[in-house]
Amino acid sequence: MKIVDDWRAILRRWSFKLGAVGALAVTWLADPVNLFTLWSLFPAEIKQAMAPEFLLRLAALIVVGAVIAMFIKQRKKPEVSSDETAG
């Protein structure tokens, strides 16, 4: 198994960032203690408008967004020359 040549470019993509955040959120929120601890921090108006499971569904939606982001062309950031970074 070999690492792809542009592995650093993968780390800059939105699909990677969303996938990482979503996976961490789903893993953390899967524990009911964490879910209800976070839920207790919300104002009463928000708690009345939605169920606590909303947070877990939101985390799953972020993961789905990561999959969709894989298909969206991302802009390349302009290269910065060493002269511009020195001064």
Domain of residue 64, residue span: 31-73
Supply 4's token pair: 């792809």
- Residue 65: is its pLDDT beyond 70? yes
- Residues 34, 39, 55, 43: what is their CA dihedral angle, to the nearest 10 degrees? -160
pLDDT, one tens digit per residue, over 20-43 is 888 888 888 788 888 888 888 989
- Residue 5 inside a domain? The answer is no
- Residue 81: is its pLDDT beyond 70? no
Tell me which DSSP letter residue 75 carries: P
- Residue 86 inside a domain? The answer is no
Tell me which DSSP letter residue 78 carries: P
How many domains does the chain fold into?
A: 1
- Residue 38 inside a domain? The answer is yes
